[in-house]
Every structure is written in structure tokens, then in C-alpha cells.
Amino acid sequence: MGIYKTQSMRVITTGAELAHGGQGSIQEIIGDSRSVAKLYNTANKSKEQENKLKVMIANPPSDDSLNQSHRSLAWPTDLIYENSNFVGFIMPRIGKWPHIFELFNPQLRQKQFPTVTRRDLHRIGINLASAFNNIHRAGYVIGDVNQKNILVTDQSLVIILDTDSFQVTDRNGKKYLCPVGVPEYTPPEIQGIHLSTVNRTTKQDCFGLAILIFELLMEGIHPFMGVPKNRNASTSFILLIKAGAFAYQPNIYLVPAPHSPSFDILYPDIQKLFIRCFVDGHNNPDLRPTPYEWVNALTLAERNLIKCPKGHWYSNHLGICPYCAQTKQIVVPLPQIQNPPQPSIQKQSRGWPKWAIPVGLLGLLVISILIFNSHNPPPIQTPVYSSPTQEVYVSPTDNNNQPITAPIVPAQAPTEPERKTCGGAPPIRIEVGDVVEVININDNRYNVLDMRLTPIVGTNISGGVGVGTKLQVLDGPVCSNDVSFFKVRDLDNGNEGWVAEAEADTKNYYLSQPLY
């Protein structure tokens, strides 16, 4: 508890601490339920920061959501002083809403926010782009665009946090730079540069905005995340972003992960904007779509969503619901042969015989033999999702284009794939895109699995995750001293870092097999 005076000569008393971070703490203001105080640590109580906040308080951006009794920005409203010394600022009090990354993964979204639909995700994208547009129109640059600085309400409205780190320019042209950033959302032209020296631009914000929208509409998949074409190639976000290796367009580095959504599920105008940002805009940032363009494209895409009988929202350019089609598809492994020829697909001249639908294992085997050995197999629907493994996705129909309800089984049992290992460590069993769970610890002092800034044994520990924590795999594997490392995202708090999957010394697995 402390007693302070504000720039507007108001006396305030702070109460309980609501949150604590690297810059300082957020504390309640007694008698004011609508505001909170952010009190800086000693290192942040600078004259430079005080002057920057004065510019922000005098020139707040417009806010399109104010007419809905909502604030999309945690914007400074007054400065706080203690004995005439600057110590922090007042800002609106924000409710306990989920971070935007908690809505990325469809399985977690179904469990935690079951009422959120794909239509809502488009609306969230519209509101996010609208907030970016208003910030840019007011002359500010966000700089530190990332998934942990954005909250989402139950009305699909957004709240952008940490506005005091924005890049600010005063009326005399003096710039107060944004010294921080996250590599996963940083554009190629400033990757690897000390950001405290960089004069940011709105076009750099546009790169981060496009990644957030991509993750929102593509089930949490990062546009520069995928399976390397060269097995030994790096999957570092920094290197792939600098190389312009957008996984969903032809490149020499990577292809989409096996379980990634098809790029085609996106409305065509949305696809074009992503290509403009990540391909055309790679060497020419001016070509990146503006927030205003995203508002218009997402609004059009939302209007063209339709609802299937099972409740899925999908874009009307597809013709059929991709989510229903996905559940009907059956994975049939092809026999292992050398130099496999391209399959020849012929249309069946007659329907399935009634005797081909028996009960029991013998009947299943008969049907599988018919499929693999007949010169006239049933027609095959174009796959919605592709896979780099040797598999075919089959959606069988009869002559009347009606689904065949008889189950189909493989004619040959699938061969267990060769698993990569890191020296003497147990075989690697997870890949980029999987969601896994921590099942063991390697730090008995804190009862956690160490999380590191880099995949190197014994150094750069940035934190830890406890048993039961769910993680999304972002990158890897990387081998270091007979330990297999993967970069992961903690789905509880959004923290990212490298953790060990398994190691040779103990033969332990620290991460589960994929949950989904």
C-alpha cells in the first residue's frame, strides 16, 4: 500500500498487487474500481519514460469499441508521482480475459471456450486489425507485436496490453523507441538486430499482425513453421523468416506439417493478403497489407461463411464443409515399394455388390482386397489435407455419389517408421505441430522440466514447466549432448522456450507422445 499524487493533482492510495512483471507491478487503486496503477521498478523510472508517457496521455488513439462500453487499449491516462518523483502511471482496469493464443489451438478452444466458432475467429481478427489501424493513424508503432500482449473478451473484442512499450514520436519529431520484440513476430529486415536502436515502422507491425491473423485462422500454426525438406536443416524461426520461407508457398526450405490445415480453407482474398505479406513483402515491406485492408478482407470473408448441418462454419468458396470431409476421410497406407509409380485412378463401372458388406474381420479383409486389387476402384474425392508421408486419403462413394458406409481396412499393416534419435537418447516420437504433456522433471530443486532460451545442455535456463503442463511443439528436434530438444509453447501462459524430450543418461522421456 502506498499514497501517491498524480499529474492531475489527484491523491491516490494503492492496495493489493494484481500482477507483477519485469517492468514493475500492477496494483489496485482504493476507491477506483475502473483504474489500476502501474508502478515501475527503479530501472524504468526514467525521465525518458516520463516524457514518453506525457505524449501518449495527451494524444490517445481513437477507439472504435468505446461505443460498446469497452476499451481496446490499456492506455495511460495519468502519471503517478511519489515526493515529486515519477514512479508510474494510471490505466484502465482490465478484466481477466484469455490471451489470444488460448484461442489458437482448436482442441484447447473446444475444451475451454466451446461456444467460440470460426465465425468468431474472423470477428476477433477484424477487431484486432481495427485496433492496429487506430494506433497507426494516431502516429504510433506497436513494435513489440506478440500473442501475450493481446486479450480477447467473450464478445470477440480485443485488448492490447503493454502500450507503454510502443514507439512514440512527439510533435518535435523526437522518437521514443521500442526496445523489445519477439523473434516469431519480427519481420525479416530487423531479425537479429538489437531492437533498442531500431526506428520501427508501421509496415513492421503489419508483419506481426499478419502472423497473428494467420495463427488465429489456421489453428495456431505459424506461417513459417513446417517440416524441413532437408532433414538436417534448421527450423529456427529467425532463419526461416529471414529466408522468406512461407510454408504454404513454394520454397526450398519446408512444407506444411502433416496435420496443418489446408491453405485453401481460407477465403481467397485472405490467401492473397498472406501471400502479399510473406512472399511479395519479404523484400519490399511496403507491399504488406495494412490493418485497414485486413479489416475489409476479413469482413468480406466473414460475410461469406456458411454453416453446415453439423454446425461448422466454413467459407462458401469451398463447396463442401472441410471439417465434415476431414472426419469422413480414411487413411490407407500404400505398400512399401521402391520407386513407387504414380497411382492410376479409374472410375468404377458398377456399384459395390451386396455380399461385400459382411460382418466381422473376414468381411473387412474382403473389402480391402477389392479396393487394392480391383481394376475398377471407386472414385476418389480430392483430398482436403495433404500429407508428406506415403498415404492416400480416401473418401469412397458409390455410383450415385453417396458415401459407402462399409468400413475399409488396410490391405497391409502399416510399417513402423524409422525414428530419429539423438545419440543414445530414446527415439524421438513427437514433431512440430503436436500438443504434448510434461510427464517427467529434470530439475528436482524446483520440481520442473527446465525451459531454455537455446537448445544447449546446461545453459540459458529461462524457467520451467511442471508435470501435467500442456505444450505445443513449435520447432525441433535439435540434438545436444545426446539430448533431443524441442521448442515449445506453454499453453497455460504462452511462454516459449526449448525443453528436452528425452536424454541418453537417464533414458527418460520428459514429454508424452502426442495428445492431438
Q: Which sequence spans correspond to the domains of the chain?
A: 2-92, 100-315, 329-334+360-368+389-412, 435-503
CATH top-level class for 435-503?
mainly beta
Sequence-distant (≥ 6) Cβ neighbours of residue 72 within 8 angstroms: 63, 64, 65, 127, 130, 131, 134, 157, 158, 159, 160
pLDDT at residue 68, as a whole number:
76
Angle between helices 202-217 and 118-137 (to 10 degrees): 170
pLDDT at residue 506, as a whole number:
77
Cβ contact 78:29 at 8 Å: no
pLDDT at residue 152, as a whole number:
96
DSSP-H helix ranges across 245-334: 268-275, 291-303, 322-328
- Identical fold, 100-315 and 435-503: no
CB atoms within 10 A of CB 474: 21
The closest of 134, 24, 19, 139 to 71, measured between CA atoms, is: 134
Q: How far apart are the first and last CA of the chain?
A: 46
CA distance 285 to 193: 17
> Considering the entire predicted model, what is its pTM?
0.69
pLDDT, block means (10 residues), the chain with 516 residues: 93 93 91 95 92 97 84 96 96 93 86 92 97 96 95 95 96 95 94 92 98 96 90 78 94 88 96 98 97 97 95 93 70 36 35 42 41 36 29 34 35 42 84 86 76 72 83 84 86 82 83 84
pLDDT at residue 147, as a whole number:
93
Specify the CATH number of the domain 2-92: 3.30.200
Cβ contact 14:4 at 8 Å: yes
The superfamily CATH assigns to domain 100-315 is Transferase(Phosphotransferase) domain 1 (1.10.510.10)
